[in-house]
Structure 1
């Protein structure tokens, strides 16, 4: 059965530890037991072969050990698969994960709502592959697994899950200074010696058309893909008209739950953007109405159907239809509190709900 972690990756896939797309020199470790227990033995499902072990094994058994992968460029990473040592009863039972853009500054993957470093439950034997999804996917060029508990010895095989970065920050439009700017498409390459901390990068936000101008930090010599420039830009434009709260959450907006503007059918497609409440913990879009507080039914409406209360939502029927069409799951809540009465009398319903399309619903 396929196991998916990411809600953003259209095609989530292994990132290349097992199949060799990540080369041997891109996998490093804090220590190795000896040359036959090297970091490159940590590829998922790798057997013991040619005198080498079927796992990376650390020299020391303490909390300072780690193994990491250099992905080569920034990617969306959504989870990790782990496995124990092929030929011995050695495996990691718990671990943390760190991620980095530059390989120097590291951040631990956090629990939901940033309630501390996430401790992942690892393996219970040396052969079974265990998949752990990150509470929130990360954008990183380096991923480091830090064992915190183990059976027998710190020995590990692993794979990373994710996809190419979708560049929610926008598109690089021009690189250079003033009239010296170079128009570049995403995926183009330029020599890093042409870039320094005074180089200006102009970025266009795809969803709202805004432009941002930012400086790049100093960086070492080499060739850099233009899409990777975005990884160096610690800027996240405010998106005011993304399709849903989930889209805002999955973009790069770091604001909390509250009022946001969304545009479910996209710009210039007929339905005007409108204001909703966003739960940024879940990405749920909430449309309010005018009867969310207590509404008392006045006396004198004892006859079934004689009292009618219209519920007016804070969006038009076209806007509601647009968000429904863009959603995979929708719910409507109507809450009744009846005192001294019954919902049915003589088989006749005393309450009915008429939808906006005039269909009767009980």
Structure 2
């Protein structure tokens, strides 16, 4: 695990395309540790380009992700939302500017990963090792309650690599 759950990665290294609660720290997207999670802005409920991003601080050998749904108040109302992402794509980058999707070797298209079927049960998805500093999750399909997510990145340091990328 690369630091989402443990808090090793600071909130400043977690970002999102939008957030429902603009005052919530991005750290709510941490696997298990957070009681809530990332919810994108409801202003774009059908947008397919919402994303949750993690900056690992330096290039790492990335091998998978653990995803979990989220729980929170529904747009400021008194109803609790229990949301999760059913399917998603993953993209990686060394620069944070140029992105490459994890590809499906059978179809040569961006791989669509199976996500969660319940808001609170973590699910592990592995893929062929790739070198990346940034990882983005793009939700494709989600629960009736909408998009809600917490996550962790699986991987390890590159051999002989101690310094951060500039």
Q: TM-score range by the shorter chain?
A: 0.7 to 0.9
The structure with more helix, counted as a fraction of residues = 1
Q: After superposition, where does 1:1-362 map in structure 2 within 5 Å?
A: 14-35=1-22, 37-48=24-35, 54-59=36-41, 60-61=44-45, 62-86=47-71, 88-112=81-105, 115-134=108-127, 136-151=128-143, 152-166=145-159, 187=162, 225=163, 228=165
- Determine the C-alpha separation between the residues in 1 that align with 2:141 and 2:26: 19
Unaligned runs of 5+ in 2: 73-80
Larger radius of gyration: 1
SS of 1:32's equivalent in the other structure is: coil
- Determine the C-alpha separation between the residues in 2 that align with 1:94 and 1:36: 27
Q: TM-score, normalised by structure 1?
A: 0.40
The structural deviation recorded for 1:40 is 1.8
Say if 2:89 and 2:111, in contact at 8 Å, map to a contact too.
yes
4+ residue segments displaced more than 4 Å: none
The structural deviation recorded for 1:166 is 2.7
> Which protein has greater RCO, CA pairs closer than 8 Å, 6+ apart?
2
The structural deviation recorded for 1:125 is 0.6
Q: TM-score, normalised by structure 2?
A: 0.86
Unaligned runs of 5+ in 1: 1-13, 49-53, 168-185, 188-224, 230-362
- Determine the C-alpha separation between the residues in 1 that align with 2:64 and 2:159: 17
Say if 1:32 and 1:56, in contact at 8 Å, map to a contact too.
yes
Q: CA RMSD in A?
A: 1.9
The structural deviation recorded for 1:64 is 1.1
Say if 2:71 and 2:148, in contact at 8 Å, map to a contact too.
no
- Determine the C-alpha separation between the residues in 2 that align with 1:147 and 1:44: 16
Say if 2:29 and 2:151, in contact at 8 Å, map to a contact too.
yes
Output one character per residue of 1:315-345: Cα deviation in whole Å (capped at 9) or x when no partner.
xxxxxxxxxxxxxxxxxxxxxxxxxxxxxxx
- Determine the C-alpha separation between the residues in 2 that align with 1:18 and 1:142: 17
Say if 1:32 and 1:38, in contact at 8 Å, map to a contact too.
no
Say if 1:44 and 1:159, in contact at 8 Å, map to a contact too.
yes
The structural deviation recorded for 1:154 is 1.1
The structural deviation recorded for 1:114 is 6.5
Say if 2:4 and 2:151, in contact at 8 Å, map to a contact too.
yes
The structural deviation recorded for 1:113 is 5.5
- Determine the C-alpha separation between the residues in 1 that align with 2:114 and 2:6: 24
The structure with more strand, counted as a fraction of residues = 2
